[in-house]
Amino acid sequence: MGNTESVLLIGGGGREHAIAQALTADARCRLYACAENRNPGIAALSADFNSISATSVDAIVEYATTDPVDADLAIIGPESALEAGVADALDAAGVYTFGPTAETARIETDKAFQRQFMQSESIPGCPDFAVFEEIEAACAYIDETEHDLAVKPAGLTGGKGVRVIGDQVTESEAKSYLRESEYEQIVLEERLVGEEFTVQAFVANGELRITPAIQDHKRAYEGDTGPNTGGMGSYSDTTQTLPFMSAEEYTDAVAILEATVEALPAYKGVLYGQFMLTSDGPRVIEFNARFGDPEAMNTLPILETSLLDIMRAAQHDESLPALSFSNQATVCKYAVPEGYPTDPHSGTKITVDEESAESVRVYYASVDSREDGLYTTTSRAFAVVGIADSIATAESQAETALSTVADGLRVRHDVGTPSLLQRRIEHMDAIREE
């Protein structure tokens, strides 16, 4: 497998910038990319960057199969492209795509299917749930149920659609949220209490390779307050586990992913399990059918195995290579526009000194390139990832790199800090003792 490969990357966010960097670390990869927004980090790594929407199936296939791309492989970043069937179309055109078909991606794109699949296949970790197509029936269920619920639209919402009764909203507010929405299907499920974490796996040919656990921070403001976002930051430790988690609890989460792959033998790509560590062990909050954002930015910088080799093994029906990681901790912090996610303001000039930020990676997400520099849009702007021999050092590195961030940008400075980690440990200890 010594030949150069033409690889097409679909998507233009921070997650895709991390994928681009991981792929081009292998000299055999000639990278091409397409996304509606031009990501300067990806463009700098690519032989060509085409401004095609990630859901424009026919245009992507045409770009992938004609000169200069003539792609050997493709990889999909965003869930919207998976739902649109981009992987199906590229596979049909002869471009092996490391990403699930639209049908198997329903494990993310259709939360009703996700829960019903878990129930029918006896996948462990599934909470009690009910599915509704009538809003008033869902509201009645909220009134009748004694315990708190998580309210989930069945379709994709960019990580911002869930409302948790007893945490984010009251029962009355949850019912108002549903009545004001235009959701066609709603999933109501028992509220899981504990500490959230993620485990991602590379999957192909009925087997999987597991990555270290990561904890994301969805809430907009420090202290885990405010509305849900696409993710404000995340961290990983020097081992596969996290400070509040035992090795056995990590293994239990991996077992859930293994059972899921066994029940979906045709699945290929990345399978992301978002778990809640409860007093009864890991329970499944949801599955995603691609890399997490920001979790990809924790995983890929410390992955020593070639991502290209993983994709090529999947393509050729070979056993996936064993994964090797650098055993370093990572802390990722997103810089977002003021007002994000409810009332974001655009137009702030971005200043980050990449050259002086030792052991730090910078990943661009949604930025506006102008003649005099980069400016914010209304989405997450860029992420900084510290990489070190401890979480504390990695967090300090990320903070140093963010010290030049201008007014008009906001960061959750508490991500990865010793005080927040200690709170996580104490919270989990208290839950186990209940």
Report the mean per-residue pLDDT for the chain. Answer: 95
Quick one: 310 and 273 in the same domain? yes
Quick one: 333 and 231 in the same domain? yes
Lowest mean pLDDT among 102-106, 107-111, 367-371: 367-371
Token pair for residue 354?
């990449």
Give φ, ψ of 107 to 5 degrees: -60, -20
Residue 193 and residue 281: Cα distance in Å, rounded? Answer: 11
Token pair for residue 272?
């992301």
Quick one: 67 and 150 in the same domain? no
The reply to whether 94 falls in a domain is yes
% of the chain at pLDDT higher than 70: 98
The reply to whether 255 falls in a domain is yes
Report the 10 Å Cβ neighbour count for 219.
17
Quick one: 199 and 186 in the same domain? no
Residue 202 and residue 208: Cα distance in Å, rounded? Answer: 5
Comparing CA positions, the residue from 294, 368, 303 lying closest to residue 331 is 294
Cβ within 8 Å of residue 58, ≥6 positions away: 89
Quick one: 203 and 66 in the same domain? no
Count of domains observed in the chain: 3
Q: Which among 76, 98, 120 is the end of a domain?
A: 98
Q: Which among 98, 115, 142 is the end of a domain?
A: 98
Q: Which residue's entry shows tokens 């055999």?
A: 28
Token pair for residue 319?
């056993």
Residue 17 and residue 374: Cα distance in Å, rounded? Answer: 16
Quick one: 288 and 310 in the same domain? yes
pLDDT one-digit tens code per residue, 361-404: 999 999 998 989 899 999 999 999 999 999 999 999 999 999 88
Lowest mean pLDDT among 60-64, 81-85, 232-236, 348-352: 348-352
Quick one: 67 and 14 in the same domain? yes
Residue 203 and residue 99: Cα distance in Å, rounded? Answer: 9
| Average confidence (pLDDT) over 308-333 | 97
Going by the DSSP 8-state scheme, the letter that residue 153 receives in this structure is: E
Residue 82 and residue 91: Cα distance in Å, rounded? Answer: 12
Q: In what order do the strands lie in the sheet with 129-132?
A: 129-132, 186-190, 149-153, 163-164
C-alpha of 367 from chain center: 19
Tell me the three state secondary structure of residue 112.
helix
The reply to whether 426 falls in a domain is no
Quick one: 320 and 280 in the same domain? yes
pLDDT one-digit tens code per residue, 171-181: 999 999 999 98
pLDDT for 403 = 87
Quick one: 11 and 58 in the same domain? yes
Is beta strand 48-50 parallel, antiparallel or unpaired with respect to 29-34? Answer: parallel
Asked whether the predicted pLDDT for residue 356 surpasses 60, the reply is: no
Quick one: 133 and 93 in the same domain? no
The reply to whether 123 falls in a domain is no
**Residue 178, domain CATH:** 3.30.1490.20
Token pair for residue 411?
């960061």
The reply to whether 261 falls in a domain is yes
The reply to whether 276 falls in a domain is yes
pLDDT one-digit tens code per residue, 253-300: 999 999 999 999 999 999 999 999 999 999 999 999 999 999 999 999
Print the domain residue range for 52.
5-98
The reply to whether 120 falls in a domain is no
Quick one: 156 and 173 in the same domain? yes
Give φ, ψ of 334 to 5 degrees: -90, 140
Contacts 24+ apart (CB under 8 A), 363-366: 363/14, 363/15, 363/17, 363/18, 363/21, 363/41, 363/297, 364/14, 364/17, 364/39, 364/40, 364/41, 364/42, 365/13, 365/14, 365/17, 365/39, 365/293, 365/334, 366/13, 366/37
**Residue 244, domain CATH:** 3.30.470.20
Residue 97 and residue 138: Cα distance in Å, rounded? Answer: 38
Quick one: 246 and 372 in the same domain? yes
**Residue 57, domain CATH:** 3.40.50.20
The reply to whether 118 falls in a domain is no
In this structure, the chain runs to a length of: 434
Q: Which among 82, 98, 114 is the end of a domain?
A: 98
Going by the DSSP 8-state scheme, the letter that residue 91 receives in this structure is: H
Token pair for residue 395?
């967090």
The helix (H) or strand (E) run that includes residue 8 is strand 5-10
- Give all strands (DSSP E) within 252-310, no chain letters: 269-278, 281-288
Residue 272 and residue 257: Cα distance in Å, rounded? Answer: 8
